[in-house]
Each structure stands twice: as C-alpha cells, then as structure tokens.
Chains A and B, each alone.
Chain A
C-alpha cells in the first residue's frame, strides 16, 4: 500500500487575520514496507502532516493518494481507507476507556463489524504484537497498568484494526528507558516480520538512527530533506540549524574528523563508530 503526497499545502484559519501556513507544498511517496521517520522542531508542521495522511485534516491545496486513490476524493470510501491507515496519537494511553484491556483493544474491530471470532483473533494477535501476555493482561483494567504498558494497549487497539500503514506520533515520549526499548523493539518486529509500513514522528534521533530506513525532515512547513538516515545525519549542520539533535555517534565522528582523523563522514550508528575507533587504535588505519 503506497501513500503519495502531492503538493500538499495546509493553511490554518485561511482567510482570517491569524491565518498560518502550516505545510507548504510538500510532496513525497511512501512505498510498502518502508520505515519512515518524520523529524522536525516543535511547530514545524509534522503533526499537521500526519493528520492529513489518514484524512483527519483536509489539504488546503494538493492531494493525498492512497494506492492511487485521492483520500479526499468525492467518491472515495474514507471510512475504509482510514481503517487501513492506523494513527497512534501522542500519549494515546489517555484515550483508553474500557473496563478491560481486551475490551479496549476490541473496540476498533467491533466497529468494523467483524464476527466475535474474528475480533477475538485480532485482539490476541494485537496483544502478541505489543508483547502483552493475553492470559495475564486481557481481563485486567487498563488503568492498573504501568504507563508503558498502557501505551502498548493503546497501540494494540490500533493494530487490531489490521492497518496496512501504521503512523505513530512520538510513541516513546515520556517513557522510561525500559518502556521505550519495548516500544522500539515491538516496532522493529512489525517492520521485519509483518512488513507493516510505518511512519514515526519522533524528536529522538537515537530512535531514528535505530529504526528508520528513510527520514523526512520538516522545517517551517517545508520538506527540507528526504533521504536515508545515513545521508541526513552526515549533514549535522542542517539538523542543528533547524533546532534538531544529531545522534551522539555522528557527533563524535564529526568532532574527530574536525581534529583531522580520517573517518568516513557518514557514520551514525554506535557499532560503526566503535569499529572505526578500534581500527584506528589497532593501527589498521594510519593514525
């Protein structure tokens, strides 16, 4: 399932004195199975962008095409298209409401009109995907769980609708390191085992370095870079200028190159930097 964004522009409060251009002529295409990171400073327009991808916002001009169909076209079944694109909001655990974990996760598929057996299968599978043991948690109140577990229940609720594309806005914000690692490894599995197309908005460049296969960099409503993490992180000046972090591994690499060390300019994973430093130390490279 592909998503194509064509010349998307969104203006809040159009025609009023307070009108602001949140997105300005953005175009890109996402293919099935990609893991796309969307990065940008607060207020850059990234949340506005993701809300267009499942039809929550309508473009002021431009189009969003899902498998070639205009999401805002007149004849399109928006309800069906939306179910295929699951959106996980920031702090989704605030939206939990049911008595039990299983009921909360079943809410979406129930609305899809599935049979009880199918709903059950969806709930089981979704809980497995987010690493919550069915026996242990299905009948618990979601409000008895830890913050990280509640967030995984909320993500399971979206996965239970069997979306082809999963969009997550800041899925690790506010979690402790263990909660964060669980979410990241769960997303890694979805990418590798189920080939779910994933778009993730995050401020954490370390998370992006670990997961993304492609990065969209947004600044002041414009798409300023669309490339592999390796190519984007090799331009630390661009990221710093628009107020974003650079992974520590890339920072170290840039600092050493600045001192005259002969290291490749595009290292951004800690393992790569470790190996390069070991090579330096062992004298495999002239140093």
Chain B
C-alpha cells in the first residue's frame, strides 16, 4: 500500500450474525488521498455496512481492510483508525453528546487525552472551518439540523483526521441544510485534502463527487466518475437508483433522436447543449 492510499479494501465480505447471505460480498476498493468518493445504493444494498467496516465498527468476515495503513481487524489498531477516519451519521440528534457546542466538539479530544491548552485552539479552528464559531457557546438543541451536522463535522475535524466517512449525513436535512453541509465538507476536501467517503441517496450530491461507487446486493456493481456512471440511466433505474434529472432528460432526448451529449449532469451543461444543437438566430 503506497503513501497516497487512504483506504484499501481487498475482497471484503461481511455477514451479520444469523443472516443467510452476506451484507457485503467480495468488495474491493482503493481510495486515494484527497479523493471525494460518493457511494450509492438502495436501502439494504450494503453501503452502510461498508461504511462501518471502514471505521472498524465491524471487522470483515473475510478479506482485509487497511485504513491509512492500519488493518481494521487488529484490536490494537482500532483507536488509530477511528482517530484518522471519522464518521458522521444520518440523524443530527443522535450524535451530539454535550450541552454546549464547543464541549461537544472537544469530546473526541478529551477521550484521546489531549491537554487543555492544545484542545482549545483545535476546537476553535475546527468550528471556524465549518463556519460555526459564533455558536461555540450555544446549546446544540437551539441549532438547525444543518448546523448540528456541521458541529458533528467539527468534532471529527478537531481530531485532525485523514478520512471523513459520512453515512447519509444529509438525509434528514432540508435543501438549504443539505447544501450547507455538502459545501462545508467539499471545501474541507479541497482545502485540507481530507479524503471523503460520502454515502447518499441524493444523485445531485453524487454528481459533485470525483468518483462514484454503486453498491447493490452487497456487491460493487459500478464504479467511475459521475460522467461515466450516470449516463447508464436504465441500468441505474434497474438498481432502484435515480440519476440527475438533467442526465435523465438527455437520455430521453437521445431516444427521440436528438444528438445530445449523454453525460450532461447540470442545468448549465444542458443549456450549453441546447445552444450547440439549436443555435439562436442572430438578432436582427
């Protein structure tokens, strides 16, 4: 495993106790430093199982996972892994433990035994990175869902992780809350080079990723950039997944014979294609 590899899963399977079939079956994936990887799959596809394996909450039944070089199957590595690969979950109310925002952010550091004089600046800079400094002394229950999720992100950032794993972190938020959390994490990815594994049901979020993994029935069934994955509209629908609306529209138009690019993802790109194919007559 080279220096730039953050996560390496090799032929990983996981079977829940008493389950007939594995939840994840022979999954192999390599995620490199600074990548933003979206994971798509319907409920029960195995994507949350994958997330929990990456964070050493579960240990593979078969195969091996290395996170920042540490084998998740070794008990002695668990804390090294959790410190380097932080995880945020779906429900903002289930992951806040303290009654004041800055104490919540400090929680992980306290567990690591970080001295107070070092803890304070780390908490401050983590809150600044998610634009929540002015709420440092607020009570978490006064915050919106999006703000709570950003506090959860700050709690992980304070640990100075290499990898952030988000398991449907925007599912319970309204559209503006979703935007604010995704933008925050995207900025951390670009500016601090934090590797992100972003599990989501929202195809518009996945469209902004560097790479997409599609999981179905415990297997990785498709992998590539959004432009490579989404044009397979029929295949995605068979897997009970959406594609971005503009990609679906492009597929419909192509079916009618319009020679539009199949990998259109956004409204802006669709406008460009329309301008290319139906140029406006110059103003008279």
- Chain B: residues with Cβ within 8 Å of the partner, total of 37
Q: Which of A6-14, A122-130, A216-224, A275-283 has 4 or more CB atoms under 8 Å from chain B?
A: A275-283
Q: Given the complex of chains A and B, what is the CA–CA distance between A261 and B44 in angstroms?
A: 45
Partner of B271, one of A146, A255, A280: A255
Chain A residues with Cβ below 8 Å from B277 are 281
Measured CB to CB, the closest approach of chain A to B65, in angstroms, equals: 25
Interface centre among A146, A173, A243, A256 (most CB of B within 10 A): A256
Is the pair B280, A259 in contact by a Cβ cutoff of 8 Å?
yes
Chain A residues with Cβ below 8 Å from B256 are 274, 278
Partner of A287, one of B144, B177, B279, B283: B279
Q: Does A42 contact B (CB under 8 A)?
A: yes
Is the pair A177, B274 in contact by a Cβ cutoff of 8 Å?
no
If the complex has contacts A173-B172, A261-B274, are A252 and B43 also in contact, measured as CB distance less than 8 A?
Answer: no
Is the pair A41, B271 in contact by a Cβ cutoff of 8 Å?
no
If the complex has contacts A41-B174, A178-B240, are A270 and B90 also in contact, measured as CB distance less than 8 A?
Answer: no
Q: Does B42 contact A (CB under 8 A)?
A: yes
Q: Does A286 contact B (CB under 8 A)?
A: yes
Q: Does A260 contact B (CB under 8 A)?
A: yes
Is the pair A41, B281 in contact by a Cβ cutoff of 8 Å?
no
Q: Does A138 contact B (CB under 8 A)?
A: no
Partner of A252, one of B246, B248, B252: B246
Is the pair A256, B43 in contact by a Cβ cutoff of 8 Å?
no
Q: Does B263 contact A (CB under 8 A)?
A: no
Interface residues of B in 132-173 (CB under 8 A from A): 144-145, 168, 171-172
Chain A residues with Cβ below 8 Å from B19 are none
Interface residues of B in 231-275 (CB under 8 A from A): 240-242, 245-246, 248-249, 252-253, 256, 258, 267-268, 270-271, 274-275
Chain B residues with Cβ below 8 Å from A147 are 43
If the complex has contacts A42-B174, A203-B175, A277-B258, are A255 and B43 also in contact, measured as CB distance less than 8 A?
Answer: no
Q: Does B176 contact A (CB under 8 A)?
A: yes
Chain A residues with Cβ below 8 Å from B44 are 146
Q: Given the complex of chains A and B, what is the CA–CA distance between A173 and B168 in angstroms?
A: 12
Q: Does A163 contact B (CB under 8 A)?
A: no
Is the pair B267, A248 in contact by a Cβ cutoff of 8 Å?
yes
Chain A residues with Cβ below 8 Å from B174 are 41-42, 203
Q: Which residue of A lies closest to B45 (CB)?
A: A176
Q: Does A188 contact B (CB under 8 A)?
A: no
Q: Given the complex of chains A and B, what is the CA–CA distance between A60 and B184 in angstroms?
A: 40
Is the pair A206, B253 in contact by a Cβ cutoff of 8 Å?
no
Q: Which residue of B lies closest to A178 (CB)?
A: B240
Q: Does B1 contact A (CB under 8 A)?
A: no
Is the pair A274, B249 in contact by a Cβ cutoff of 8 Å?
yes
Q: Given the complex of chains A and B, what is the CA–CA distance between A24 and B167 in angstroms?
A: 38
Interface of B is mostly: loop
Is the pair A252, B42 in contact by a Cβ cutoff of 8 Å?
no
Q: Does A34 contact B (CB under 8 A)?
A: no
Number of chain A interface residues as a range = 35 or more
If the complex has contacts A176-B240, A177-B201, are A270 and B245 also in contact, measured as CB distance less than 8 A?
Answer: yes
Measured CB to CB, the closest approach of chain B to A149, in angstroms, equals: 9
Measured CB to CB, the closest approach of chain A to B232, in angstroms, equals: 15
Q: Does B278 contact A (CB under 8 A)?
A: yes
If the complex has contacts A248-B246, A270-B248, A280-B278, are A259 and B271 also in contact, measured as CB distance less than 8 A?
Answer: yes
If the complex has contacts A41-B174, A176-B43, are A256 and B274 also in contact, measured as CB distance less than 8 A?
Answer: yes
Chain A residues with Cβ below 8 Å from B172 are 173-174
Partner of A280, one of B144, B176, B177, B274: B274
Q: Given the complex of chains A and B, what is the CA–CA distance between A287 and B275 in angstroms?
A: 10
Chain B residues with Cβ below 8 Å from A278 are 253, 256, 258
Is the pair A261, B175 in contact by a Cβ cutoff of 8 Å?
no
Q: Given the complex of chains A and B, what is the CA–CA distance between A277 and B273 in angstroms?
A: 11
Interface residues of B in 186-212 (CB under 8 A from A): 201
Q: Given the complex of chains A and B, what is the CA–CA distance between A277 and B252 in angstroms?
A: 11
Interface residues of A in 242-283 (CB under 8 A from B): 243-245, 248-249, 251-252, 255-256, 259-261, 270, 273-274, 277-278, 280-281
Q: Does A148 contact B (CB under 8 A)?
A: yes
Partner of A281, one of B144, B245, B252, B258: B258
Is the pair A42, B249 in contact by a Cβ cutoff of 8 Å?
no
Measured CB to CB, the closest approach of chain A to B238, in angstroms, equals: 11
Is the pair B201, A274 in contact by a Cβ cutoff of 8 Å?
no
Is the pair B245, A206 in contact by a Cβ cutoff of 8 Å?
yes
Measured CB to CB, the closest approach of chain B to A114, in angstroms, equals: 34
Measured CB to CB, the closest approach of chain A to B169, in angstroms, equals: 12
Measured CB to CB, the closest approach of chain B to A275, in angstroms, equals: 9
Query: Can you list 7 pairs linking A and B with CB atoms under 8 Å apart?
Result: A173-B172, A174-B90, A175-B43, A176-B43, A206-B245, A274-B252, A281-B253
Interface residues of B (CB under 8 A from A): 42-44, 90, 144-145, 168, 171-172, 174-177, 201, 240-242, 245-246, 248-249, 252-253, 256, 258, 267-268, 270-271, 274-275, 277-281, 283
- What would 6 more interface pairs be, CB under 8 Å, given A243-B176, A249-B245, A261-B280? A174-B172, A203-B175, A248-B246, A274-B256, A278-B253, A281-B278
What are the 5 closest A-B residue pairs judged by CB atoms, nearest first? A178-B240, A248-B245, A287-B278, A174-B171, A176-B43
